[in-house]
Amino acid sequence: MSRVLAIMLVAAFACGLAGNATAMPEIEHWTTANGARVYFVAAPEIPMIDARVVFAAGSARDDGQPGLAELTNDLLREGAGERDADAFSSALGATGARLSNGSLRDMAYVGVRTLAEPRYADPALVLLADAIARPRFDAAAVDRIKGRALVALRHREQSPESIAEDTFYREIYGDHPYASPPDGTADSVTALGRDDVVAFHRRYYVARNAVIAIVGDLDRARAAAIAEQLSVGLAAGERAAALPAPAATSAHELRVEYPSIQSHVRVGLPGMRRGDPDYFPLLVGNHALGGNALVSILFREIRNKRGLSYSASSYFVPMAAEGPFVALLQTDRSQEPEALAVLRETLGGFIADGPPAADLEAAKQNLIGGFPLRIDSNDKIVEYIAMIGFYDLPLDYLEQFTRQVAAVTAEDVRDAFARRVPLDGLVTVIVGRAEADEG
Amino acid sequence: MRSICLLLAGLAFLAPPCPADTVHRTHEFTLDNGLELIVQEDHRAPVAVVQVWYRVGSAYEHDGLTGVSHALEHMMFKDTKSLATGEFSRIVASRGGRENAFTSTDYTAYFQQWAADNVEESFRLEAERMHNLVISDEEFAKEINVVLEERRLRTDDNPQALASEATQAVAFQTGPYRQPIIGWEADIEQMTAADIRQWYQRWYGPNNATLVVVGDVDPAAVHALAIKHFGPLPAREIVPPKARPEVPQHGTKRVTYASDKARNPYLVMGFKVPVLPAAVRDEAVEEWEIYALDVLAETLDGDASARLSRNLVRGRELASHIDAGFSATAMLPTLFYFNAVPRDGVALADLEQAILGEIDALKQAPPSAEELERIKTQVVADTVFERDSMMHQAIIIGSLESVGLDWRLRDEYVDKIRAVTPAQVQAVAAKYFVPDGLTVSYLVPEAKS
């Protein structure tokens, strides 16, 4: 029953945060003996521990071998230390712990959620430490995960949304590492070998390139012991090099023909980075434009007034280098011209004039009033402190937030959007049928 | 326990009547008009989630009107007598809230998450749209187009979703689970504002709803607020739909879904299995059977060490991905499904046979003591992990109540799973995983002609 219900859980989406009088999680920070940065919050209410290790080892490090970062990350749970994949999964299952892993453009992570009781937590943490420091990369596992990756790639090819996403990144990033698809391509994945994976792991899964985030029912001493345990097997190594800034884009439109009923439309460009000087004006402005779920300007114009799309939104993805800004919708092919016109007109008006006062006020109220929701579970706190560590944000980032949001003016937003989201830089990607009356 | 609780509910201003469990601190009340209120304290953060669950979903619908519960869910965000279109959402957003709603076969639920001092605002708004919804022709005309776009997005442009929809429609011949929750396209296209008004009048009332609050709240105060805002609403006469029992199946059903958009083949297998509400209704189903089926699901697909991953994803390397399971708390007997994507070069028929082989193994021999121990450890751990999400806690409570179960079942769950024996798992494998309960679908990629 519990597992079945879990399927229905509505995923909470978080991409920024605000702050007010809410009690802030008290973040403790130190560095392990070999240079891993540790962030810890004690949360004694539930007898469990979340530990997550994040590396600058995402697809931005693929360096001409698209798919390598993801393949490496996926293989971490396919056998480590003395245990092959079967033995590893059996040992993990016996602890009741849940292991999670993932690889994005900037970061790759592995984490565990375990009961705090040492008889469960101790073996679970041994397995996590083995996974990051002593993965086996058995040849059979490499072949199997490569095979799975090729199937997953074809799955993306039957999803117009995935095609639109991959195409959009390619179009706005050109030669920049963010253009490289995290899942790779059929050719690039086929060409990957065990040696590539071993070399990638050796270079990027190292202590100085790691952030360890720990939240749960434990004190600092135990957290420190766990952090040492998780990092001791890692070579000290070096932090990954800083990523270059993406080049400016020039406005153009690309249509990818695909036999879907709907056209998937994305408009955007490289947006902002973590710690960006324009972070707050862009965040608040976008919240008014397309981020404030059911009440944003785009939602109102495209969905509520005209019924043109189920989703109509915009967002920034702040990353180590300038992550994308994107406004998107999907609509029946016959309505595509109208929907695109409304999207462009709305965007253009917003960029030229800045946010209407009422929308700006609503956006700020929502960001500030909604702050407590962003840190109301261990799951969210571990994600935030990992983010703060990974992007070198100040420890009082959360405390500053409300103040920074509150200070944003309409002119700040207009000015920031005019400079950072210029109309003559907006790239449009449309995935759908060439003609409305076909098929 | 429950009857005592109900007796006390009328005078529950003074103290929580029913301290059912100390871990969750959950309290139940019933208003005079029949509205159920369940409050769970969670003081970790100054927030609360408020959910209103209506006992209506696609399984209550009939031919020609499929999708009406879901379309009504969309219209619940439009006008009421005292709120203009969009005002509801503007109020929630202005106070920092997040809100949404979801519709299933068995229920429709609405929620807000925000600072705990907004619970009264949730009640004021939800009571208003529970009783005073206005469905204008103008707003309906726009919103039904949004629903059609949602169907195109989730189903019509998604080959696997189309194959799953077809599987469900074939597996159930007379029972309402054959209908998609979002509705058939033609039904959505022909739906009228009047259809939705009638559906609202028929099902939305305090005596057909459960109000769930989880968060940093005082149960007695929440109860008082519920009486203030929902208390004045009159109960409606609720006439249950006529029963549409599923006719017995004779022989395995097969579906081939050919798609020129699919790039991967895909296998769906579903066995008809009983559910907890059926066991409670005493339909010749023993309660332990449902828990044994749950353990069986975990044996096959609980984690990466479970049999399907160990034997078919690793081991024989036949599948790129498999998942299996069923909803023990569905209102009506449901499908225990297997969804699988084959590895390159593996025929769907071979993957099907391999899955049947794993089921046969469980018919021949019960799961090992080690497997059962692993499952029981994970169930205990998961019940602790789940406490991290207030939203999830509220969903468990609301969904149980909405299908005619008692939310206290949640607290008995671990013990019930612990009581399952290896022989019982073997017994349900033999009883339910039979050709007369099986539907098999192949999604076959096809070159565009």
Contact A370 B262 (CB under 8 A): no
Structural element, H or E, at residue B169 = helix B159-171
Which of these is catalytic: B61, B73, B143, B371? B73
Question: Per-residue pLDDT averaged across A169-192, rounded?
Answer: 98
Res A24: pLDDT: 83
pLDDT bucket at B404, cuts 50 / 70 / 90: very high
Res A303: pLDDT: 96
226-255 in chain B: CB under 8 A from chain A = none
Q: Which chain A residue shows the shortest CA-CA distance from B325?
A: A4
* Per-chain mean pLDDT for chain A: 94
Contacts of B150 in chain A (CB under 8 A): 310
Contacts of B396 in chain A (CB under 8 A): 1-2, 5
Is the minimum CB–CB distance between B143 and chain A shorter than 8 Å? Answer: yes
Distance CA A155, CA A137 (A): 25
Contact A93 B303 (CB under 8 A): yes
Res B282: pLDDT: 73
Question: Per-residue pLDDT averaged across A187-212, rounded?
Answer: 98
The percentage of chain B sitting over the pLDDT mark of 70, rounded to a whole number, equals 94
Is the minimum CB–CB distance between B402 and chain A shorter than 8 Å? Answer: no
pLDDT in tens, B408-439: 999 999 999 999 999 999 999 999 999 999 99
Please enumerate in sequence order all residues whose Cβ is within 8 A of that of A416, keeping only pairs 6 or more positions apart, or say none: A278, A281, A282, A285
Question: Per-residue pLDDT averaged across B253-277, rounded?
Answer: 97
pLDDT in tens, B347-403: 999 999 999 999 999 999 999 999 999 999 999 999 999 999 999 999 999 999 999
CATH number of B2-230: 3.30.830.10
Contact A308 B145 (CB under 8 A): yes
- DSSP designation for A273: B
Per CATH, which fold does B253-445 belong to? Cytochrome Bc1 Complex; Chain A, domain 1 (3.30.830)
Res A437: pLDDT: 65
pLDDT in tens, A85-124: 999 999 999 999 999 999 999 999 999 999 999 999 999 9
Contacts of A47 in chain B (CB under 8 A): 384
Please enumerate in sequence order all residues whose Cβ is within 8 A of that of B11, keeping only pairs 6 or more positions apart, or say none: none
Please enumerate in sequence order all residues whose Cβ is within 8 A of that of B35, keeping only pairs 6 or more positions apart, or say none: B206, B207, B209, B210, B211, B226, B230, B233
Contact A377 B97 (CB under 8 A): no
Contact A115 B90 (CB under 8 A): no
Contacts of B40 in chain A (CB under 8 A): none
Is the minimum CB–CB distance between B138 and chain A shorter than 8 Å? Answer: no
Contact A362 B328 (CB under 8 A): no
Distance CA A324, CA A168 (A): 9
- Report, in angstroms and rounded to the nearest whole number, the Rg of chain A calculated over CA atoms: 23
Res B3: pLDDT: 29
Is the minimum CB–CB distance between B327 and chain A shorter than 8 Å? Answer: yes
pLDDT in tens, B216-234: 999 999 999 999 999 999 9
Distance CA B90, CA B109 (A): 19
Are the C-beta atoms of residues A196 and A21 closer than 8 Å to each other?
no
Buried b (16+ CB within 10 A) or exposed e, B148-184: bbbbbbebbbbbbbbbbbbbbbbbbeebbbbbbbbbb
Contact A94 B374 (CB under 8 A): yes
Is the minimum CB–CB distance between B150 and chain A shorter than 8 Å? Answer: yes
Residue A412: how many other CB atoms lie within 10 Å: 18
Predicted ipTM of the assembly: 0.92
* Partners of A40 in beta bridges: A28, A214
Contacts of B158 in chain A (CB under 8 A): 159
Of the two residues A160 and B14, the one the predictor is more confident about is A160
Of the two residues A1 and B343, the one the predictor is more confident about is B343
Q: Which domains does chain A have, with CATH numbers?
A: 25-231 (3.30.830.10), 252-432 (3.30.830.10)
Contact B157 A261 (CB under 8 A): yes
Nearest to B218 by CA among B449, B43, B360: B43
- Distance from the A172 Cα atom to the nearest Cα atom in chain B, whole angstroms: 25
Q: Where are the domains of chain B?
A: 2-230, 253-445
Pairing outcome for strands A37-42 and A28-31: antiparallel
pLDDT at A18 over 90: no
Res A4: pLDDT: 32
The percentage of chain A sitting over the pLDDT mark of 90, rounded to a whole number, equals 92
Res B448: pLDDT: 67
pLDDT bucket at A347, cuts 50 / 70 / 90: very high
Q: In a mutagenesis test of the A interface, which of B296, B298, B389, B395 is the best target, namely the one with the most A β-carbons within 10 Å? A: B389
Question: Per-residue pLDDT averaged across A7-27, rounded?
Answer: 45
Contacts of A359 in chain B (CB under 8 A): none
Question: Per-residue pLDDT averaged across B254-275, rounded?
Answer: 97
- Distance from the B13 Cα atom to the nearest Cα atom in chain A, whole angstroms: 28
Residue A64: how many other CB atoms lie within 10 Å: 8
Pairing outcome for strands A108-115 and A98-103: antiparallel
Range with the poorest average pLDDT among A177-191, B2-16, B136-150, B160-174: B2-16
Q: Which chain B residue shows the shortest CA-CA distance from A156?
A: B263
Nearest to B400 by CA among B381, B418, B413: B413
- Distance from the A82 Cα atom to the nearest Cα atom in chain B, whole angstroms: 16
- The reply to whether B412 belongs to the active site is no
Contact A160 B104 (CB under 8 A): no
Contact A261 B262 (CB under 8 A): no
36-75 in chain B: CB under 8 A from chain A = 44-47
Question: Per-residue pLDDT averaged across A180-194, rounded?
Answer: 98
Contacts of B287 in chain A (CB under 8 A): none
Is the minimum CB–CB distance between A242 and chain B shorter than 8 Å? Answer: no
pLDDT at B14 over 60: no
Of the two residues A217 and B279, the one the predictor is more confident about is A217
Of the two residues A414 and B285, the one the predictor is more confident about is A414
Q: Which chain A residue shows the shortest CA-CA distance from B91?
A: A362
Topology alike, domains B2-230 and B253-445: yes
Are the C-beta atoms of residues A172 and A249 closer than 8 Å to each other?
yes
Contact B377 A95 (CB under 8 A): yes
Contacts of A402 in chain B (CB under 8 A): none
Contact A77 B304 (CB under 8 A): yes
Res B440: pLDDT: 98
Contacts of B148 in chain A (CB under 8 A): 332
269-328 in chain A: CB under 8 A from chain B = 292-295, 300, 303-311
Contact B96 A375 (CB under 8 A): no
pLDDT in tens, B162-192: 999 999 999 999 999 999 999 999 999 999 9
- Distance from the B146 Cα atom to the nearest Cα atom in chain A, whole angstroms: 5
Nearest to B101 by CA among B56, B59, B134, B64: B56
Contact B384 A115 (CB under 8 A): yes
Question: Per-residue pLDDT averaged across B23-31, rounded?
Answer: 90
Return the residue matching tokens 């007369």.
B436
Contacts of B294 in chain A (CB under 8 A): 1, 3
